[in-house]
């Protein structure tokens, strides 16, 4: 038996005894960053062989019992993962001091733009103009009909006009974006950069208003539209177009469902008894409802809602409470009608009460005209309830305002 064979046999016996002896190995040590001392609150050791993990200590030290030849992964956030195979010493331990270096971080390039002042933006708003493309007209057209025909039908000339229009729209959008960025910086509205484009589309600012509006008018308009934008974005998109299903059978029910949805999401504050009247005021045709995007319809409802209450001088709380008119309030005109048998005095007393409570807003000088428009029958006054009379006056008043308002 050679010396080499004896040595190999001794080594295998030692290894076998050692392996049999170490059912568990204590793997311990410490992690260090040589460049910047820090605490390792997220240090974790994961046994790849078993799938189990334990946390280390904030100072970078760790200790865990594992089996011989298990693979241990050492993970620290923002550092490369370290991997170790457990090889126990004679004491069934493995100690390591592990030096780690932070992973290279790629930072996205950031462009820092100085905010424009409101005066600078105002100058840009006022200077906003569509770049003119040379077109002949009037006498020139008579003098050069061939040139006029060429400019009308030439693809090249049409392309020039299209490019000019697109540049104008881009310039307008850039000015609005700068304006919004300034308002965000001064906490007038709260928007992320990612929301700018969708909000600008939602604004749909009229170019003449953009060029001529005062700062206060712009701020008021944009703040108001921002509230609508938030309301619309809060809605579950799956619910937005649910009312459209009713368009196939009944347009009026579809509009009522639309209004209920707007009220439920606090876009408008409309008492239920006003739904029918407001629906008439909206004047939505079936074709318009079918072909118009949801966001435009909701925006139109909000705008019309505001003009509706301004035009008719309506008060939401008064409507909701039936104008706070009690049976005692109705006694005077009823007494004139039943006891004194004076229909005209009864009508005048009722007219004044309706004005006082805000059901109507008609000058005393217009009493005769409005009374003729009402065409109140004595039998109706005698037989109707307070609620029915209020409803009749309200409905007739809306029609009277429409009838007497100047036509566009």
Taking the domain 22-100, which CATH number applies?
2.60.40.10
Both structure tokens of 231: 């309301």
Q: What is the pTM of this model?
A: 0.49
Q: What's the pLDDT score for residue 202? A: 74
CA dist 178 and 183 (Å) reads 9
Neighbours of 245 (CB within 10 A): 11
Both structure tokens of 114: 């100085």
Question: Which pLDDT tens digits describe the chain residue by residue (408 residues)?
Answer: 555 554 555 545 554 444 457 888 888 888 887 666 666 656 777 888 777 777 778 778 888 888 898 888 887 777 788 888 888 888 899 988 888 776 554 545 544 455 566 677 677 767 765 444 444 444 444 444 545 444 554 555 555 565 666 666 777 788 888 888 887 877 778 888 777 787 877 777 777 887 788 878 888 888 877 877 776 666 655 566 788 888 888 999 999 999 998 888 777 889 999 999 999 999 999 999 988 878 778 878 888 888 898 899 999 999 999 999 999 999 999 999 999 999 999 999 999 999 999 999 999 999 999 999 999 999 999 999 999 999 999 999 999 999 988 765
Residue given tokens 């649910």 in the structure block: 242
Q: What's the pLDDT score for residue 98? A: 81
392 touches 373 (CB < 8 A): no
Q: What's the pLDDT score for residue 280? A: 94
CA dist 237 and 245 (Å) reads 15
Both structure tokens of 53: 């993990």
Q: What is the dihedral of CA 125, 127, 128, 132, to 10 degrees?
A: 170
Tell me which residue of 147, 207, 214, 222 sits closest to 172, measured CA to CA.
207
188 CB-near residues (< 8 Å, 6+ apart): 219, 222, 223
How many CA atoms within 13 Å lie on the side-chain side of 342?
Answer: 11
151 touches 157 (CB < 8 A): yes
384 touches 392 (CB < 8 A): yes
> What proportions of the chain, in percent to the nearest 5, are helix, strand and coil?
60, 10, 30
Could you tell me which residues are beta bridge partners of residue 31?
98
Q: At what angle do helices 196-203 and 155-185 cross, to 10 degrees?
A: 110
Q: What angle do CA 315, 318, 319 make, to 5 degrees?
A: 85
Q: What's the pLDDT score for residue 108? A: 52
Tell me which residue of 286, 283, 316, 287 sits closest to 300, measured CA to CA.
283
- Kindly list the distances between the CA atom of residue 364 and the CA atoms of 202, 334, 347, 352, 371, in Å, as whole numbers in the listed order: 44, 20, 12, 8, 11
46 touches 36 (CB < 8 A): no
Residues, the chain, total?
A: 408
Q: What's the pLDDT score for residue 347? A: 94
Both structure tokens of 182: 């300034």
Q: What's the pLDDT score for residue 205? A: 76
Sign of the CA dihedral running 327, 329, 335, 337: negative
DSSP reduced 3-state for 72: strand
270 secondary structure, DSSP code: -
CA dist 87 and 117 (Å) reads 68
Query: How distant is the alpha carbon of residue 112 from its chain centre?
Result: 26
- Kindly list the distances between the CA atom of residue 403 and the CA atoms of 86, 255, 389, 391, 398, in Å, as whole numbers in the listed order: 94, 24, 21, 18, 9
Both structure tokens of 175: 């000015």
Q: What's the pLDDT score for residue 135? A: 46
């Amino acid at each position: 038996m050679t010396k080499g064979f004896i040595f190999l046999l001794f080594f295998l016996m030692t290894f076998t005894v050692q392996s049999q002896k170490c059912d568990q190995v204590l793997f311990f040590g410490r992690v260090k960053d040589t460049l910047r001392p820090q605490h390792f609150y997220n240090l974790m050791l994961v046994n790849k062989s078993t799938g189990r993990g334990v946390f280390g200590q904030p100072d970078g030290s760790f200790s865990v019992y594992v089996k011989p030849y298990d693979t241990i992964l050492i993970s620290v956030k923002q550092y490369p993962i370290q991997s170790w195979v457990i090889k126990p010493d004679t004491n069934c331990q493995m100690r390591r001091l592990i030096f780690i270096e932070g992973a290279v971080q790629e930072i996205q390039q950031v462009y820092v733009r100085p905010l424009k002042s409101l005066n600078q933006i105002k100058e840009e708003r006022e200077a906003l103009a569509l770049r003119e493309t040379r077109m002949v007209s009037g006498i020139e057209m008579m003098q050069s009909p061939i040139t006029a025909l060429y400019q009308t039908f030439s693809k090249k000339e049409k392309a020039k006009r299209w490019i000019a229009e697109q540049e104008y729209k881009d310039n307008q959008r850039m000015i609005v974006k700068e304006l919004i960025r300034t308002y965000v910086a001064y906490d007038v509205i709260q928007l992320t950069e990612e929301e700018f484009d969708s909000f600008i589309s939602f604004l749909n600012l009229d170019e003449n208003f953009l060029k001529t509006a005062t700062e206060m008018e712009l701020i008021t308009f944009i703040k108001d539209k921002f509230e609508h934008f938030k309301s619309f974005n809060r809605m579950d998109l799956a619910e937005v177009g649910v009312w459209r299903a009713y368009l196939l059978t009944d347009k009026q029910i579809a509009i009522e469902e639309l209004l209920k949805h707007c009220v439920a999401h606090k876009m408008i504050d409309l008492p239920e008894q006003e739904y029918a009247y407001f629906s008439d005021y909206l004047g939505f045709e079936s074709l318009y409802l079918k072909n118009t995007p949801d966001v435009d319809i909701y925006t139109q409802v909000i705008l019309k809602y505001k003009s509706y209450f301004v035009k008719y001088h309506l008060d939401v709380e008064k409507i909701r409470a039936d104008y706070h008119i009690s049976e005692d309030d109705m006694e005077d005109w009823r007494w004139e009608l039943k006891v004194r048998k004076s229909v005209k005095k009864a009508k005048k007393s009722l007219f004044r009460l309706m004005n006082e409570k805000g059901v109507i807003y008609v000058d005393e000088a217009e009493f005769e005209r409005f009374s003729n428009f009402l065409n109140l029958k004595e039998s109706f006054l005698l037989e109707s309830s307070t609620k029915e009379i209020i409803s009749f006056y309200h409905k007739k008043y809306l029609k009277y305002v429409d009838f007497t308002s100047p036509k566009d």
